[in-house]
Amino acid sequence: MAARRKYNVKGTKDFIVLAGIFFFLCLWAVKDAWYPSPKVLEKHPLTVNASFETGGSIGAMHVAEGDSIAESQILAELRRVEIEEGFESSKKAYSAAKGSYTLADEALRNAVKNGASSEVIAEFKQSRIDAQATMDSALEQVTSMRAGIDAAELHAPDKGVVKDILVAVHDQVAAGETVMVIDPADHFYLFNKSLAILSFIAFWLFLGIHVLTH
């Protein structure tokens, strides 16, 4: 009668330990892949809502649903005829204010150079202070209008794919209103799903080896 075969593999306890490690790794991967916590969702959102920083009428849409997009790509624009006109006006106002300040500063220098009385010099100093205040205010207006033009462009927060477009050209939108929904190109969930499957296979593999060699 043939002798019963007996497996004798050194360190069979290692296989059950490895099976346990892969079992818990599988559970961890399943949780993050299919049941992510709010903290994980915040770091790796399933979708991203794109919106303008300011309100207005949609002037142009540069992408369609299903398009792949790159980070910072322009997705859409608001109509900005009025704000561009305002920007040009603010630049002209700043140029005029800067010219007035230059004249006031030159007048003060000449007054000091020609030995004008302290009262006259004080008046020129005040004129220069007023001119500088006007120039600074005009520069703030230019900066504000420039920011308004920039805010009229909707840029992609990251690379991904356009999932849904919720508005059309000429639609009126408010600041912060979702214009389109983007699927970000984040491989976090795909990685964890793959890890869960591989860990599950490894768990049964090492558990089987342990049973056969025990």
User: What tens digit of pLDDT does each residue of 9-29 get?
Assistant: 555 588 899 999 999 999 999
Per-residue pLDDT, 211: 86
> Are the CB atoms for 177 and 61 separated by under 8 Å?
no
The predicted model scores a pTM of 0.64
pLDDT value of position 10: 54
pLDDT tens digit sequence for 104-149 = 999 999 999 999 999 999 999 999 999 999 999 999 999 999 988 8
CB count, 10 Å around CB of 38? Answer: 7
Task: Please check whether residue 175 is in contact with residue 154, taking contact to mean a CB–CB distance below 8 angstroms.
Answer: no
CB atoms within 10 A of CB 125: 15
For residues 7 and 211, what is the distance between their CA atoms, to the nearest angstrom? 10
The structure tokens listed for 179 are 């214009």
